[in-house]
Chains A and B, each alone.
Chain A
């Protein structure tokens, strides 16, 4: 059951990561059609269309993370403490705080991405999207490192 949840948590995180990365890059300066490279094509998506998917994916991924927290607290964290792996515990602490702050950001993030997009909301939209992108990337990488820590740091 825990393994299934962990795999689903990881798969949802991959989808979330893809969506938020596209959207975050889309908030950068627009480039004329003739100059478009792979990176500019990557960011020239209909970014507002990702918003509802990102909100829903973030909430579901966070719920799965919350369900996985008890086994982590009982099995993984004591092991990390016994092995004196303070940094591993630290990055997880940051992961949980960022996930909570990210959840709180979702209402404002959703509002500023509502169509039609307004010029007044541009800076807020850019900040909120990049904060969420940082949160999602951090949590994704930390989750994977901690999941594989026995193999990574023998």
Chain B
């Protein structure tokens, strides 16, 4: 199947990068809603609770976009389309297993 490679690689790498980013708490920035400020470095408690989610998404984007564009199209298209479905399904399962810590 021609042309799917870069789209599939972006989606696969984005999911993996996002999962690793939240698992290891790697965010390019955090937002502090109490003071309405974005910061790269952690702020003192007086700044209120941070939101890392925006930063995790941007981190995943910064990883996945260059990789999907850098892989030559011929190589990318060798990837079976099935992986574009299987790997994200596995990531969803990993997220559910990891977050079960809230329930038990």
Interface residues of A (CB under 8 A from B): 66, 69-71, 73-74, 77-78, 86-87, 89-91, 93-94, 96-98, 100-101, 103-112, 118, 120-121, 123-128, 131, 134-135
Rounded to whole angstroms, the CA-CA distance of A110 and B37 in the bound complex is 34
- Since A93-B99, A101-B19 are in contact, a sample of 11 more A-B pairs with Cβ atoms closer than 8 Å, ordered by chain A residue number, is A66-B53, A66-B54, A69-B33, A90-B99, A90-B102, A94-B99, A96-B53, A97-B95, A104-B88, A124-B81, A128-B88
With A94-B95, A100-B56 in contact, is A70–B84 under 8 Å at CB? no
Q: Tell me how far the C-beta of A121 lies from the nearest C-beta in chain B, rounded to whole angstroms.
A: 5
Name the interface residues of B42-82: CB closer than 8 Å to any CB of A: 48-49, 51, 53-54, 56-57, 60, 64, 81-82
Partner of B15, one of A91, A94, A105, A134: A105
Partner of A74, one of B49, B60, B64: B49
In the A-B complex, list the 7 residue pairs whose CB atoms are closest, starting with the nearest: A90-B102, A127-B85, A104-B14, A70-B33, A108-B11, A124-B81, A111-B7
Could you list 24 A-B pairs, sorted by A, with CB under 8 Å? A71-B33, A73-B51, A78-B49, A90-B100, A94-B96, A96-B53, A97-B95, A97-B99, A98-B95, A100-B18, A100-B57, A101-B88, A103-B14, A104-B11, A104-B18, A104-B88, A108-B12, A109-B11, A112-B4, A120-B1, A120-B81, A121-B81, A124-B82, A124-B85
B41 at the interface (CB under 8 A from A): no
B31 at the interface (CB under 8 A from A): yes
Q: Would you call A123 and B82 a contact (CB within 8 A)?
A: yes
Interface residues of B (CB under 8 A from A): 1, 3-4, 7-8, 10-12, 14-15, 18-19, 22, 31, 33-34, 48-49, 51, 53-54, 56-57, 60, 64, 81-82, 84-86, 88-89, 91-92, 95-96, 99-103
Which residues on the B side are within 8 Å of A77 (C-beta)?
49
Q: Would you call B11 and A93 a contact (CB within 8 A)?
A: no
Smallest CB-CB separation from B61: which chain A residue? Answer: A104
Q: Would you call B51 and A103 a contact (CB within 8 A)?
A: no
Q: Would you call B15 and A101 a contact (CB within 8 A)?
A: yes
Rounded to whole angstroms, the CA-CA distance of A105 and B85 in the bound complex is 9
Rounded to whole angstroms, the CA-CA distance of A78 and B82 in the bound complex is 42
Which residues on the A side are within 8 Å of B82 (C-beta)?
123-124, 127
Q: Tell me how far the C-beta of A147 lies from the nearest C-beta in chain B, rounded to whole angstroms.
A: 18
